[in-house]
Amino acid sequence: MGTTSLLDSNCAIYLVKGGLDKGVEQELRKATALGFNLSVVSQIELLGYDFPTSEVKSITEKFVAQCTVLPLDNEVVAKTIVLRRLYKIKLPDAIIAATAIVFDFTLISRNDKDFEKIEELKYFNPF
């Protein structure tokens, strides 16, 4: 995986905060060993909340700065519309899934409920 995977916000938060089961952390690190890709939605989700401390804010900002953030371009928008119509998922999840599909990445997430049902999405839950 690595450079061919897209990290969902929920998995990125686990990597930033730590405290994961060793097996799960190894799976996440292995899946993203060659670098991190994020949807612009995940960038917004990761940086757009009130951080509990300046240290957590700094760690999160550094993590996001190391990632490749993929844009919300016309192709991703078109795929998002199709996914929303077909699967009735929330807009942020539809954008993240569409980004993974358009860029031909495996989506790494813990959100089985929304992502497992999307047939064309390559999906991996390390938990």
pLDDT value at residue 35: 73
Measuring CA to CA, which residue among 113, 111, 72, 96 is closest to residue 5? 96
- How far is it, in rounded angstroms, from Cα 118 to Cα 62? 32
Element at 32 (helix H, strand E) = none
Residue 45: the pLDDT is 94
Q: Taking 50 as the threshold, does the pLDDT of residue 1 lie above it? A: no
pLDDT digits (tens, 9 = 90+) for 77-87: 999 999 999 99
For residue 65, give every residue at least 6 positions away whose Cβ sits within 8 Å of its Cβ, in sequence order, or none: none
Q: Which domains does the chain have, with CATH numbers?
A: 2-124 (3.40.50.1010)
pLDDT of residue 16: 79
pLDDT tens by residue, 16-72: 777 677 877 777 777 666 678 999 999 999 999 888 899 989 989 998 998 899 999
